[in-house]
Structure 1
Amino acid sequence: MTGAARNDARAWVRTGTELLFDAVAGLDEDAFSAPSVLPDWTCKHLVAHVAANADALGNLVHWAATGEETPMYASAEERAVGIAKGATLSGDELRSWLRDSAQKLAAGLDGLTEAQWGHQVVTAQGRTVPATELPWMRAREVCVHAVDLGTGVTFADLPNGFLAALVAEIKAKRGLTELPDGPLPEVAAWLAGRPHSLTDVPELGPWL
């Protein structure tokens, strides 16, 4: 990833994070406990997942900065426990965790040198990637899950550059050769397996 692409991704992280902060700011306890767009997850589960993701990516930042091997999660079970923990926390506790973890991750990324940005780390899926991929990984989480909260944010609220990058990535990963005609936000939603307004298109399974 070039420096310019990395800067774009970091800008998208800031946009998605602010959308999340704004979305959760007005949630009371009942709204936090309401279903999210994602099956079987309440808004509490979703916010806990995004907060835990920031902590996990922070482990990879530490790995890139120090060379000390620090996996995102100790195990798949640990990741599941972190999400389940969300259902037991209050709205205020979740807001604090979401904000604190996001700020800590941003500070860690700010501290990486150019050499450290090139250091290799391993994702939770077992992919070996340079640290330059971390902003994009976070951008996907905060932007897509800001929509998944179901509080009014849509794919149309996300930056066009982010949507174009997201469409290109999912299209490649799904092995698609053609895309349906339609507005970019709706195509992105369809590819991601989220609610959309496109017609005469096959339903795709969930992504992310």
Structure 2
Amino acid sequence: MQAVSQEEGAREALRERLGVGARYDAAAAPARELGWARRGTAYFARKLNELRDEALDGASLIPGWSRRHVVALIGYQARWQALAIEQLRTGEAVALPDQAEQAGQIVLAATLPARALRNLFDHAEVHLNVEWRDLSNSLWERSVRDIDGGSVAVRATPWIRARALWVHAVDLDNGGAYLDFPLGVLDALVADIVGHWQSAGTVPDLLLQPTDRPEPVRLGAGTTAVNGRMADLVRWLAGRGARRLEHSAPELPALPAGPYLVGRHSRLTSLI
């Protein structure tokens, strides 16, 4: 209780310093995931800003997609999340695109002038961050509509955003690396991928042995051992290729489809 009181006291002191009208996260907000999303925004922005305008026409690590498509995807994901949360917060109806419309918007945005494409990313991420900061404790416990007509928990949106930012920052193929990811993000990505395989009934028989973690990760029967740094294991599990991995089988096994399918059918293009 004392720690909670100290934390609330620090929060109140911050509010006083920021003054009237300042925005800050509600106490019930998922602080860890918001931190990952905001760090991911800064990381993606850095890799994007390092690219000259003409370099945006170059290929990304997503087959068939230029870097322009990746920037458009990340920009629009923030916009769609922000609009869904704004609709919840204000109660006013907002037109949200279905999956086909999302794909069309990404393709169209990829043709924008470089400055407009960069502005899409900048403005959309600011809008989303404002919406997160304006959510009350009770609204963090609500849900918003996803593109399939179902719903997704509002408190899940920061992680959904974070994973897209980190994974697609590397997809820009501009020196980004899974080794740059926060350790917690790497662990959460593994849990995400394994959870997807479990839901699909396609869990491979692997014994993942991170050289920089104390415990292995056993999947299925754990038939094939794969060793490497956690960052390199996650890169492989996410379908982005194998680097610096050692394995007990003659060849690395083929992995089942994961949640981070690339291209226009990626689930990362949606609110969920």
Counterpart in the other structure of 1:112 = 135
* Higher helix fraction (1 or 2): 1
Aligned counterparts, 1:1-208, within 5 A: 6-68=30-92, 70=94, 73-175=96-198, 176=203, 178-181=206-209, 182-197=228-243, 198-199=245-246, 200-204=251-255, 205=257, 207=260, 208=268
- After superposition, the CA RMSD in angstroms is 2.1
Q: CA deviation at 1:66?
A: 3.0
SS in 2 for 1:27: coil
Larger radius of gyration between Structure 1 and Structure 2: 2
How many percent identity over aligned positions?
A: 31
Q: CA deviation at 1:64?
A: 2.9
Aligned residues: 205
SS in 2 for 1:121: strand
Checking the alignment, whether the CA contact within 8 Å between 2:28 and 2:140 is kept in structure 1 is no
TM-score of the pair, normalised by structure 2: 0.70
Higher-RCO chain (CA-CA 8 Å, sequence separation at least 6)? 1
Checking the alignment, whether the CA contact within 8 Å between 1:64 and 1:131 is kept in structure 2 is no
Distance 2:57 2:90 in 1: 39
Aligned AA for 1:193? Answer: G
Distance 2:48 2:152 in 1: 32
Deviates more, 1:124-133 or 1:21-30: 124-133
Distance 2:106 2:207 in 1: 33
Q: CA deviation at 1:103?
A: 0.7
* Higher strand fraction (1 or 2): 2
SS in 2 for 1:114: coil
SS in 2 for 1:180: strand
Aligned AA for 2:192? Answer: E
Checking the alignment, whether the CA contact within 8 Å between 1:170 and 1:192 is kept in structure 2 is yes
Q: CA deviation at 1:83?
A: 0.9
Checking the alignment, whether the CA contact within 8 Å between 1:6 and 1:136 is kept in structure 2 is no
Q: CA deviation at 1:126?
A: 4.5
Are residues 151 and 120 of structure 1, via their aligned partners in 2, closer, same or farther at CA, if it must alter by over 3 Å? same
TM-score of the pair, normalised by structure 1: 0.89
